[in-house]
Amino acid sequence: MEARVLGEARSIRDKYVNPPQTTDFGILFLPSEALYAEVLRTPGIIEKLQRETRVVVAGPTSLAAILNSLQMGFRTLAVQKRSSEVWKTLGAVKNQFSIFSGLLLDKVSDKLQQASNTIDEASRKSRYIETRLKKVEELPVGEAQSLLPDLTSSDEDDEGN
Q: SS3 string of 55-81?
A: EEEECHHHHHHHHHHHHHHHHHHHHHH
According to DSSP, residue 20 is labeled: T
Question: Which parts of the chain sit beneath pLDDT 50?
Answer: 152, 154-155, 161
Check if the beta carbon of residue 62 is closer than 8 Å to that of residue 90.
no
Alpha-helical segments (H) within the chain = 2-16, 33-41, 45-53, 60-99, 105-134, 141-147, 149-160
What is the predicted pLDDT for the residue at 151? 55
Q: Is the pTM of the predicted complex or chain greater than 0.75?
A: no
What is the predicted pLDDT for the residue at 152? 43
Q: Is 17 exposed, middle or buried (0-12, 13-18, 19+ CB in 10 A)?
A: middle
What is the predicted pLDDT for the residue at 103? 82
What is the predicted pLDDT for the residue at 158? 52
Cβ neighbour number for residue 12 with a 10 Å cutoff: 20
